[in-house]
Amino acid sequence: MSARSIGSLLLLLLALPVAADEGPVCCEDLVEGPAAHRHDDLDEPAPEAPATPPAEAPGGQAAAAAAEKKKEPDRWFAVTGGDVYPVTGPALRGATVLARNGKVVAIGERVAVPAGAEVVDARGLRVYPGLVAFDSSGLVGSPPEDATDVFGLGLQIALASGITTVGQGPVVAKLTWGTLEGHVLEANAWLRLDVGSGQALAQLRGELERVRGYLRDRRAFEQARARGEDVKEPDRSWLRGRPAQLEQLMLGRARAVIAASGRTELLRVAGLVQEYGLRATVLGGQEAWTVASLLGRAGLSVVLAPRARRDADPQLERESGWSIESAALLHQAGVPVAIVPTSRSIGTGGLGGNDLATLNLEAAYAVRGGLPEAAALEAITIVPARLLGVADRVGSIEVGKDCDLLITDRDVLHYEMLARYTVVNGRVAYDKAKEALLRAVRHSRDEGPAETVPQLWPRRPGEPEPKMPDSER
Amino acid sequence: MRTALAAALLVSALPGLAFAQAEDVVVIRAGKVLTMNAQDEVIDHAVVLVRGGKIVAVGPADRVAVPPGAREVDARDAWLLPGFIDCHNHTAGSLSDLNDGVYLTNPGLRTLDTVAPENENLKVALAGGVTSVLLIPGSGNNMAGFGTVTRTAGRTQADMVLRAPGSIKVAQAGNPERYWFGVGRAYMNWNLGQTLEKARAYHAGWSAWEEAKALADEGKGPPPPPPPPLDLAWEDFRALFARRFPASVHTQMFQVVNKTITMLGDRFGLRVVLDHSTFDGFKNARLVQERPEIVTICGPRQYYFDRAEGRIVGVAARWMENGLREVGINTDAPVVPQEELTLQAALGCRLGLDPYQALRGLTIVPARALMIDGALGSIEVGKDADLAVWTGDPLDPRRHCRLTIVKGQVVYDAGQGRRF
């Protein structure tokens, strides 16, 4: 079979579910059949992925049979009946998100689910894109493709908090539970620039000037050559390593991340990026609210922790110090805002509320300061995805993007929000009911009996041993 | 920030908002009042009437007669709650006096000397709706001194302080070990016991003398012997043993909490506040249940990672599941900033604590722990008007404190300069 015919088969398979976007799909046969296994059946082990593509695929059945030996069968995955909040579009009530081989192929209220698909019943639940943490620590190994612990506790806690993609330094990785497949999203998302002191800024300017000089010479050379003049090509042998990265930056092909929190530093950053036309993101930005419009005009984006303190300087006449309203003021000034917690790791020591496990609550604090709720959700999904250069893959629920989902029974910004399921690359990476981690946590409004292990001491003589709930055995 | 500060100063300078006169009447109209009283009353479209800094009426708007000329606080789109109370604070003081660690037990020291009115941390605490705290010394030694129950608002110590001594701070384990090589739990408990025995003997000596003197004064007994020598190291312990204030105990983990209950509670007969109560301390729930005077305050660690089971356990929720009727919540500020007391409660709820119980844990439960529930901790007639207006559920980080009222006067107004 030629590559072309495999391609056309793929197209045919693709065409079916996508059509659901346009309107109802009436093909009854395609609605979840008995072969589809549901994720709420806890006792039943998940059957293997269907060995064949949906038999209903119109045409090319013989071709499919021929292709079977060469090609992995399609892996269908669906989340049905949930309220879907795609972030980049309006909410859909009781909708289905269908994914094939880890990519979303349809979103809608009447999407047909192929037989054999793995199905998560999300009726009564909310479906959000997996959260994106612009910056993290301790979750991604070095190098990630070899060293990430994909069964790590921190990774599972992050998934339980709804996070599916993290930046760690310039590496962007997905929290693929139990597999390194599809783990690394971007190996080099940005370049760090240092303007922390006048000396550092001077050095950086020197480097940028040298690259700018080269680019000017290069342009002059190309123009001269176009005129047919015999000119010498400018030397680019030194443009390796960091100078080469700076060149990419100045050509607008790469992004910079610059740590700056005080107003003086922020003004330095704004001046620099305007002077050299850089695409840059400020990390920190505690006093950014005092120069919000200026940062907006410089085209900067800001990654901040809404509660990160910086004391006001009582000797200054101007506004200074941290403000809970930072994110809102920046947003009003047109500055894209991504939100991170003060601590970028995952703790297990008990002191919560400041680390990645409550990324959603950080966004909630930005709402406290006046940021609209929609912008707060964007600040932990699509905005960091854009700033990390991976918005074509993650950060919203859209056809063509990766099927990374947070499925929960609460508003994502609510303080009781825990993931019920977390989906990465169209696979259930975390299921609250199956993992010991938070299985026993039950909220007061939840229905059904508590599933907790009684831990009472002392047990009085003659008292029966506490009965363990079934799920604890 | 500076303008915010200036605005805040301006607010306190406005004549209408200055210190409430004795007959100054304030009427607060609120969309929802969470009284936190024993009946768990929540009143929608309510009115709270304040006179001379005290609550004189609480009820639905159509049933409370509002006297003419009363100053109005319009919170009809908001929630009104009692000001929050934290049993574990280090930031009402200067912080540089956190922990005088001269000895492993330091009887006689008082945090009253370190209270620093209007410090920056307290201003933000007010913006978090926190109106009273127990300022205690650190836990670097087993007994670091006497705590002070204080308001967070006020220009002088006299304005602020509710009771001094407010508690004796005991750190039973899990920090004092660092005092010196070889200090472990057996020694610490022995040493703490020795110190308390000395204090108890001092109290007993004086009590015996006072009784003898009282009998002699009534002509019923012989002239009393000369009084025992006054010793300031032990003097404050007399009120402790008379149970006029509690021992607030830095205690966590099953075994240590167990010792707190049996040693400080049972052996010495003290009023005990289990402060922290973290890790697997919840295994003692039944012992606490059997001793209703003991109050359990959870935090700032709101969860315990159980390595054997591979699970995250919500500490407050588990104490409740194991039979407690109530728990309090603390911050250990500045370990967690004082204004984030509500977040601590929310984190408890995230792991299963009932939100209403969490709100009780910020109000009436700590008030009871600190034995100030006669004046604070709920919105009831006769109590002090220490209140906060919230834009919704205070546990939700999206909602903020709009107005903080202490003794009937506005001490923080987000509209005049937002702090949190």
What is the model's pLDDT at position B182?
87
Q: Does A349 touch chain B (CB under 8 A)?
A: yes
> Are the Cβ atoms of A358 and B347 closer than 8 angstroms?
yes
Q: Environment class of residue B40 by beta-carbon count within 10 Å: exposed (0-12), middle (13-18) or buried (19+)?
A: exposed
Q: Does A439 touch chain B (CB under 8 A)?
A: yes
> Are the Cβ atoms of A441 and B312 closer than 8 angstroms?
yes
Q: Does A373 touch chain B (CB under 8 A)?
A: yes
CA distance B117 to chain A (A): 18
Residue A54 CA, chain-centre distance (Å), reads 30
CA distance A172 to chain B (A): 27
If DSSP codes are grouped into helix, strand and coil, which group holds residue A294?
Answer: helix
What is the model's pLDDT at position B12?
42
Query: Could you say which residues from 326 to 355 on chain B have a Cβ atom under 8 Å away from some Cβ of chain A?
Result: 335-337, 340, 343-344, 346-347, 349-352, 354-355
> Are the Cβ atoms of B302 and A311 closer than 8 angstroms?
no
> Are the Cβ atoms of A368 and B344 closer than 8 angstroms?
no
> Are the Cβ atoms of B314 and A441 closer than 8 angstroms?
yes
Q: Does B276 touch chain A (CB under 8 A)?
A: no
CA distance A43 to chain B (A): 20
Instruction: Render the burial of B101-128: b for 16+ CB within 10 Å, e for the rest.
Output: beebbbbebbbbebbbbebebbbbbbbb
What is the model's pLDDT at position B20?
44
Partner residue facing A319 (CB), from B3, B300, B399: B3
- At A261-295, the pLDDT tens digits run 999 999 999 999 999 999 999 999 999 999 999 99
Q: Does A45 touch chain B (CB under 8 A)?
A: no
Q: Would you say the CATH fold of B84-374 matches that of B1-83+377-420?
A: no
* HSE of A78, CA atoms in CB hemisphere, 13 A: 30
User: Which residues of chain A lie closer than 8 angstroms to B310, CB-CB?
Assistant: 153, 436-437
- At A232-256, the pLDDT tens digits run 999 999 999 999 999 999 999 999 9
Average pLDDT (B359-387) is 98
> Are the Cβ atoms of A415 and B344 closer than 8 angstroms?
no
Where residue A108 falls among pLDDT bands split at 50, 70, 90?
Answer: very high
Q: Does B283 touch chain A (CB under 8 A)?
A: yes
Contact A186, A174 (CB under 8 A): no
What is the model's pLDDT at position A367?
98
> Are the Cβ atoms of B398 and A373 closer than 8 angstroms?
yes
Mapping DSSP onto H, E and C, the string for B161-224 reads EEEEEEEEEEECCCCHHHHCCCCCHHHHHHHHHHHHHHHHHHHHHHHHHHHHHHHHHCCCCCCC
Does some domain include residue A26?
yes
What is the model's pLDDT at position A59?
44
A286 → chain B, closest CA residue: B1
Alpha carbon distance B6, B282 (integer Å)? 46
pLDDT more than 70, % of chain A:
80
Q: Is the dihedral of CA A382, A385, A390, A395 positive or negative?
A: negative
What is the model's pLDDT at position A28?
36
Instruction: Render the burial of A169-180: b for 16+ CB within 10 Å, e for the rest.
Output: ebbbbbbbbeee
User: Which residues of chain B lie closer than 8 angstroms to A352, CB-CB?
Assistant: 301-303, 347
- The residue whose two tokens read 């550092």 is A200
Q: Tokens representing A328? A: 């809102």
Query: Could you say which residues from 211 to 240 on chain A have a Cβ atom under 8 Å away from some Cβ of chain B?
Result: none
Among residues B75, B52, B11, the alpha carbon closest in space to that of B392 is found at: B75
Contact A413, A363 (CB under 8 A): yes
Chain B contact probe: residue of A348, A408, A455 with most B CBs at under 10 A? A455
- At A401-420, the pLDDT tens digits run 999 999 999 999 999 999 99
What is the ipTM metric for this complex? Answer: 0.92
What is the model's pLDDT at position A470?
53
What is the model's pLDDT at position B160?
97
Does some domain include residue A290?
no
Where residue A150 falls among pLDDT bands split at 50, 70, 90?
Answer: very high
Average pLDDT (B152-163) is 96
What is the model's pLDDT at position B254?
94
Does some domain include residue A212?
no
Question: In DSSP terms, which residues pair with B328 in a beta bridge?
Answer: B297
Question: Residue B28: pLDDT above 80?
Answer: yes
Q: Give the start-to-end residue ranges of the domains of chain B.
A: 1-83+377-420, 84-374
Alpha carbon distance B411, B406 (integer Å)? 6
Residue A424 CA, chain-centre distance (Å), reads 10
Where residue A462 falls among pLDDT bands split at 50, 70, 90?
Answer: confident
Contact B360, B368 (CB under 8 A): no
Question: Which CATH number applies to B1-83+377-420: 2.30.30.40, 2.30.40.10, 2.60.120.380, 3.40.50.12780?
Answer: 2.30.40.10
Where residue A50 falls among pLDDT bands split at 50, 70, 90?
Answer: very low
Partner residue facing B312 (CB), from A322, A353, A438: A438
Residue A165 CA, chain-centre distance (Å), reads 4
Q: Does A455 touch chain B (CB under 8 A)?
A: yes
User: Which residues of chain B lie closer than 8 angstroms to A368, CB-CB?
Assistant: 397-400, 420
Average pLDDT (A36-61) is 46
CA distance B150 to chain A (A): 25
Does some domain include residue A188?
no
What is the model's pLDDT at position B101?
81
Partner residue facing B354 (CB), from A323, A348, A444: A444
Q: Does B220 touch chain A (CB under 8 A)?
A: no
Partner residue facing B397 (CB), from A314, A350, A415: A415
What is the model's pLDDT at position A39?
59
> Are the Cβ atoms of A353 and B343 closer than 8 angstroms?
yes
Average pLDDT (B65-94) is 96
- The residue whose two tokens read 């006046």 is A370
Query: Could you say which residues from 111 to 140 on chain A have a Cβ atom under 8 Å away from some Cβ of chain B?
Result: none
Where residue B95 falls among pLDDT bands split at 50, 70, 90?
Answer: confident
> Across the A/B interface, how many CB contacts are shorter than 8 Å?
134
Q: How far is CA A376 from CA A87, B29, B399, in A?
A: 10, 31, 14
Contact A132, A161 (CB under 8 A): no
> What are the DSSP calls for A378-403, one per residue?
HTTTHHHHHHTT-TTTSSS--TTSB-
Domain total in chain A:
1
What is the model's pLDDT at position A451?
55
Partner residue facing A353 (CB), from B315, B321, B347: B347
Residues 6+ apart with CB under 8 A from A390: A165, A172, A185, A186, A189
Alpha carbon distance A165, A79 (integer Å)? 19
CA distance B339 to chain A (A): 11
Containing structural domain, residue A98: 3-124
Does some domain include residue A71?
yes
What is the model's pLDDT at position B177?
92
> Are the Cβ atoms of A320 and B1 closer than 8 angstroms?
yes
Q: Does B254 touch chain A (CB under 8 A)?
A: yes
Alpha carbon distance B309, B407 (integer Å)? 48
> Are the Cβ atoms of A353 and B420 closer than 8 angstroms?
no
Question: Residue A378: pLDDT above 70?
Answer: yes
Which segment of A65-74, A127-136, A341-350, B178-187 scores lowest on mean pLDDT?
A: A65-74
Alpha carbon distance B39, B42 (integer Å)? 9
Question: Residue B61: pLDDT above 80?
Answer: yes
What distance separates the 2 farthest-apart alpha carbons in chain A? 103
Residues 6+ apart with CB under 8 A from B343: A353, A361, B336, B397
Q: Does A368 touch chain B (CB under 8 A)?
A: yes
Alpha carbon distance A78, A428 (integer Å)? 10
CA distance A336 to chain B (A): 20
Q: Does B412 touch chain A (CB under 8 A)?
A: no
Which segment of A59-73, B44-58, B316-330 scores lowest on mean pLDDT?
A: A59-73
- Fold assignment, B84-374: TIM Barrel (3.20.20)
Query: How many helices (DSSP H) and strands (DSSP E) are in chain A?
Result: 13, 18
What is the model's pLDDT at position A47?
42
Does some domain include residue A416?
no
CA distance B213 to chain A (A): 46
Question: Residue A13: pLDDT above 70?
Answer: no
Question: Residue A467: pLDDT above 90?
Answer: no
* HSE of B293, CA atoms in CB hemisphere, 13 A: 15
Q: Environment class of residue A257 by beta-carbon count within 10 Å: exposed (0-12), middle (13-18) or buried (19+)?
A: buried
Alpha carbon distance B75, A95 (integer Å)? 39
> Are the Cβ atoms of B311 and A436 closer than 8 angstroms?
yes
